[in-house]
Structure 1
Amino acid sequence: MNITSTIYHTARARAGVPLALGRQHPKAAYQQTELAALANYLILLMLRNVTSDGYVIEDPANSGQYSAPGCVIAAPSFPANTPGVDQDYVYNWVRDAAITAIEIAAAGLPVTPGSGMPSLIDYVSFARLCQTNAHPTLGHACFTVAGQPRPWTEQNDGPAIQSLALLQAYPQLDTATQATARQVIETNVSYLLGAYQKPTTNLWEEHEGLSFFARSVQLRCFRAVAANTHGIGVAADVPTAIAWLESALQDHWNGSYYVTMLAPDAGPGVSIVPEELGYDPNIDIVSACVYGAVPATDTRLLATAARLRSQWADPNSRAFYPINAADQTRGIGPLLGRYPGDTYDGDVAHPVSGGHPWALCTCNFAELYYRLANEIDHAGTVPLDSLSEDFFAQVGVTSATSIADAAVALRSAGDAMLRAVIYHSDRYELSEQFDGTSGYEKSVHNLTWSYASFLSAVRARTSGSKLSGKVAGKSARAAGSKK
């Protein structure tokens, strides 16, 4: 041992630090952390993946090609810098970028005097660039950092959720950018009116069919455009599209849960994915509530959500994640994945049976809890019926539970999920996935959508209202409906 080492260890001993511990990092106090305050930090982490004229990145797949302002990369991971991951995420996905822009618009970031919010102005500019370059259709899902189409699939939820993001950003744009946003939205709507009844590639980019998620987001988009007060033109066919999608979503019910991908012309509830692949229940049904038009009070949605939670949290389930057993002793979780037959962990060359939990899936489910609690507070009733009773039972809510206590139980369940995400984070940095056994982060690091989903959930958590004393004492069954 040299003299420097001797002094170091002597100092640690005098400070009462056991030598055997070695170098230690402070632990995140996940149970004590205020989630709303933490969100202010996570948005800064998310913004590292959003480019501007002062923050430019080079395309790792194309040396000498640089990002245009407003590009939102899915993650800074690509095979050369992420061992064990063979996927390149340094691209702009239309959906991911829109979800990110929605959170930027909701964050209350500084506005340039006499102009608007710089990041949102850049986002509109890049959205227009990609729309102009889109090929073969305006549903093209993925673009390079310079706004050129990457060979990829057509995903018709993209133009819809992009339009929703532009509508939310609209008040924070300057006059010239507002005009551009109106043009992008009107072009998107024109395209969607010719596409909404057709099959599309789904949220997870694995199958083509009639997507519950895409239909839900398209429905929300059409409704929002029809109600807009920004001078955006409303095509005569929009009301017809709204009515058609409202009916079409019901075709996904198979009597037990919503099916994520229907086979065209096969009838209601018939999946295009063979049952043995384990594609249902699929977490994108919950995402359809977060980003689309499915209400949190839909008891068919809640029946689906109950199955989703149990398949990863119930030790008797074949899809059970062992980390959820350990987390239960900590009072957090469970962590949730995409679907029971998942095999993707960032490395498509080496599939893993059962997959792993995802941060965004867990956060979306937490947001469902918060949204439902808010609806219960507002309406003074709990949507407890034969379809939803398993969902409520998972959080300890029965027909005897008061309405106030039901809302508290739902928010507590959401908090437990978000705290699990924070507990397993790398000092608050969020990857795409967590190992289903150890809980350590997996797959690509710093996934933009992981941050955005956490921020969205926290917004839903903090937007609730208090119940009046008159309603608070009523039981869930007395105030709710029974089918």
Structure 2
Amino acid sequence: MPHSKSRPHFWLADNDEESAAAAPQQQQQQVRGSYLQSILAGRSVTTDDAVYPAYTDAVRADRGSRAPLLLEKQTSRLLPESPYSGFTSGYGSDGDNYSDEYDAPKRPWRAIVLFPFIAGIVYAAILFSYLACDPSATTAAATGTSGEFDQWIHSQRQLAWNGVLANIGPAAGAMDGLVIASPSKGEPNQPDYYFTWSRDSALTVSSLLPSFLPDDYLRPWEYTTSPPHARAHNHTHPLLEGLVRSYARAQAELQVVPNPSGDLWSGGLSEPKFHVDGKPFTHPWGRPQRDGPALRALALIPYAHWLLDRGYPADRAFVVNHLYNSNALRRSGSVIKNDLEEIANMWSLPSFDIWEELDGRHLFTDAVTRRALQAGALLAKRLGDTHAAAYYGTQAERLALQLPNHFNTTAGYWAASHSVQYTTPRAGLDSASMLAVIHAGVRHTSEDVTDLAPNSPAVLSTLLAYVRSFAGLYSLNSDSSSWTDGWLVGRYAEDVYDGVGFRGGNPWYIATFTVAQVLYRAQAAFALADSVQLSPLTASFWADILNEDEDDIPIAGEWTRGSDEYDVATQRIGEVADAFLLRGLSAARRHYGSMAEQIGSSDGKNRGARDLTWSYASFLEVARARDEAKLAMAMGGDDDVDGRDLDAVSDQLFAGEDAL
């Protein structure tokens, strides 16, 4: 029987008087959602420009009556209960209590009475709609035109959302705010993943931020103080703000725990994992891992900006007391500042990679560290910490100069690592390179190769080489002769870790969804640029995507909007992304939506750690990327839209402005 992990209790948000009173003010921004989740939850956005204006008008005309429905479908009006729903005193190592704490509404008694009945109905409904979908979806479903496929994604999104929240804090048996990697505790055929990893935790919190913060905050290295930040205070939900605060407090506690990597001042912030009660893990491990503090900073800097933009005195007090205190280089409770000091001074030293196996230099670690330093410089400048801002900016520039060393110019792809000692030969083609594009790349076309733009020739060439490396490796893919039909892929082709031992690698949910997400991001970037850049690096990629001879693909110039080549290419890249997403969903469906770490290479069964938090988070991210790509395809080329900036377009559309 598939594992059925206990879920957190539920409470009815709309039974809460304070939430109900605030609803009219918040609905408008809530409907806008995280990367427009409501598109799939409600109406499907067509890529036909002629149809899209009608959709826009319908949203405007129907906003008042549809807002509650879309809000319900986006996050579910039945919100998982969390231990973070209320705080009465602040955290501080010196014992101080702060008056700026968030105090969430109390749960009404009616929710407690109705919980068993309503929770059962909701969960049964999700599973029924999920199981009603055909796992061997037709070609129409794979191309994203099937309403059934959209419903399948919507159902899995709710299950993934619950899966993430079930693995945070007391609901998972952990300290408040700590994210466990998995509930697996070393049972038969299970590894012991019942720990909190700094990296996994930060990536998980980052996956939730789009449901909490407007899009403009989500890439903090590009943050500006210009509108629409003035209205950002309307885009929130008490549950998620409480969770982020609790996460910040928990990380503050971990930062001062002496561990095998050091302490607050001597490298301890790069310790990869801790016990779920916050105690150090002292056994041998691949340490240090310097991506952890960088990712934690990237997870919390958006919230710091959002608080400063909301502008209440208590908001600024929380930033100063808990996130970034410019009066000391490092101190207890200054989570972001501590991490920035750590990475600014340690980035040039070796580190273990994202998979905890190789000690050296790694593209993912360097890329996210650069972005954290850039984002940190902007936040420091805003808070008046000018000397630190200059230092972080300088270190980011120095690190950027090192990034080209990761590119294999002979083979034409981004290698995951260099300056490492391999125990067995590896080509360097690794899902970690694709993860670097997702978590440190820009979302638009860029001439700077180190920006890791998803539609850049270097990234597309890397994706092609990486996916092709799995040809013939997993029997589960034997029904698809071409990777463009959608393959299940793993971390890297030479992998032998099977989730428990080392008897041969398997596909991973994270890796498969990452390929889909990069393709969706590329589709959106092409749509916003109104063109597809061609180069010798992309000839093989487009030959496979378009099922043509490579000799027939140009190696220079561009395909521009309105040409047959552009229209077919941008449509096809979305179809291939859907095919990879469909593969991962098909594997999850046979386990009622539960996602482990790996998928058995021959039988498709869940392998390794069960209910892996990162697997659920990766699905939430790829679903949002699909939403964004659909919107970009619909909006790109519209002469009535000022510019091709997706954030501005989506803000206008869902804020009810008349610019469209």
CA distance in structure 1 between the partners assigned to 2:526 and 2:482 by the alignment: 29
Q: Is structure 2 residue 387 aligned with structure 1 residue 283?
A: no
Structure 2 length-normalised TM: 0.59
Q: Is structure 2 residue 542 aligned with structure 1 residue 379?
A: no
- Could you report, residue by residue, the CA deviation over 1:7-62 in whole angstroms, capped at 9, with x for unpaired residues? xxxxxxxxxxxxxxxxxx9454354231256423321122110114xx351xxxxx
User: SS of 2:361's equivalent?
Assistant: strand
Deviation at 1:111, TM superposition (A): 5.3
Say which of 254, 272, 285 aligns to 1:141. 272
The match for 2:158 is 40
Written as runs of structure 1 = structure 2, the 5 A alignment for 1:399-478 is 399=554, 402-425=565-588, 426-464=591-629, 465=632, 466-468=635-637
The match for 2:350 is 199
- Could you report, residue by residue, the CA deviation over 1:73-130 in whole angstroms, capped at 9, with x for unpaired residues? 00111212xx223x211111001000110122212499566x9712111111111111
The match for 2:7 is none
The match for 1:231 is 383
CA distance in structure 1 between the partners assigned to 2:133 and 2:384 by the alignment: 46
Task: Identify the range of structure 1 (98-107 vs 28-37) with the bigger mean alpha-carbon deviation.
Answer: 28-37
Q: Is structure 2 residue 144 aligned with structure 1 residue 71?
A: no
The match for 1:222 is 373
CA RMSD of aligned residues (A): 2.6
CA distance in structure 1 between the partners assigned to 2:246 and 2:272 by the alignment: 19
The match for 2:211 is 107
The match for 2:42 is none
Say which of 396, 403, 420 aligns to 1:242. 396
Deviation at 1:305, TM superposition (A): 1.3
Amino acid at match of 1:187: N
Change (3 A) 1:450 1:156: same
Structure 1 length-normalised TM: 0.79
- Could you report, residue by residue, the CA deviation over 1:403-435 in whole angstroms, capped at 9, with x for unpaired residues? 233222122111111111111111111111111
- Could you report, residue by residue, the CA deviation over 1:225-265 in whole angstroms, capped at 9, with x for unpaired residues? 223376274432222222222221101122212222211xx
Q: Is structure 2 residue 202 aligned with structure 1 residue 98?
A: yes
- Could you report, residue by residue, the CA deviation over 1:249-291 in whole angstroms, capped at 9, with x for unpaired residues? 101122212222211xxxxxxx5426x5325211111111111
Deviation at 1:467, TM superposition (A): 2.3
CA distance in structure 2 between the partners assigned to 1:145 and 1:289 by the alignment: 30
User: SS of 1:117's equivalent?
Assistant: helix
Change (3 A) 1:56 1:323: closer
Conservation of the 8 A alpha-carbon contact between 1:384 and 1:392 = no
Written as runs of structure 1 = structure 2, the 5 A alignment for 1:4-403 is 26=131, 28-30=133-135, 31=137, 32-34=148-150, 35-36=153-154, 38-52=156-170, 55=171, 57=173, 67-80=174-187, 83-85=188-190, 87-108=191-212, 117-135=241-259, 136=262, 137=267, 138-151=269-282, 152=285, 153-170=287-304, 175=315, 176-179=317-320, 180-182=322-324, 183-228=334-379, 231=383, 233=385, 234-254=388-408, 255-256=410-411, 257-263=413-419, 272-273=421-422, 276-278=424-426, 280-293=428-441, 294-312=452-470, 314-315=471-472, 320-326=473-479, 333-348=486-501, 351-353=502-504, 355-396=505-546, 398-399=553-554, 402-403=565-566
Change (3 A) 1:328 1:170: farther
- Could you report, residue by residue, the CA deviation over 1:267-318 in whole angstroms, capped at 9, with x for unpaired residues? xxxx5426x5325211111111111242213322222211111111x33xxx
Conservation of the 8 A alpha-carbon contact between 2:275 and 2:281 = yes
User: SS of 1:210's equivalent?
Assistant: strand
State the identity %: 25
CA distance in structure 1 between the partners assigned to 2:374 and 2:611 by the alignment: 33
Change (3 A) 1:76 1:379: same
The match for 1:18 is none
Amino acid at match of 1:242: A
CA distance in structure 1 between the partners assigned to 2:305 and 2:257 by the alignment: 26
Conservation of the 8 A alpha-carbon contact between 1:124 and 1:177 = no
Deviation at 1:147, TM superposition (A): 1.6
Conservation of the 8 A alpha-carbon contact between 1:102 and 1:169 = no
- Could you report, residue by residue, the CA deviation over 1:167-191 in whole angstroms, capped at 9, with x for unpaired residues? 2333666735433122211111111
Change (3 A) 1:47 1:171: farther
Gaps of 5+ in 2: 1-129, 138-147, 214-234, 308-313, 325-333, 442-451, 548-552, 640-660
CA distance in structure 2 between the partners assigned to 1:287 and 1:170 by the alignment: 24
Conservation of the 8 A alpha-carbon contact between 2:172 and 2:180 = no
Gaps of 5+ in 1: 1-24, 58-66, 264-270, 471-483
CA distance in structure 2 between the partners assigned to 1:328 and 1:439 by the alignment: 18
Conservation of the 8 A alpha-carbon contact between 1:369 and 1:411 = yes
Count residues in correspondence: 415
Deviation at 1:149, TM superposition (A): 2.1
CA distance in structure 2 between the partners assigned to 1:116 and 1:366 by the alignment: 27
User: SS of 1:251's equivalent?
Assistant: helix
User: SS of 1:463's equivalent?
Assistant: helix
Deviation at 1:157, TM superposition (A): 0.7
Change (3 A) 1:279 1:119: farther
Task: Identify the range of structure 1 (227-236 vs 383-392) with the bigger mean alpha-carbon deviation.
Answer: 227-236
Amino acid at match of 1:48: A
Amino acid at match of 1:370: Y
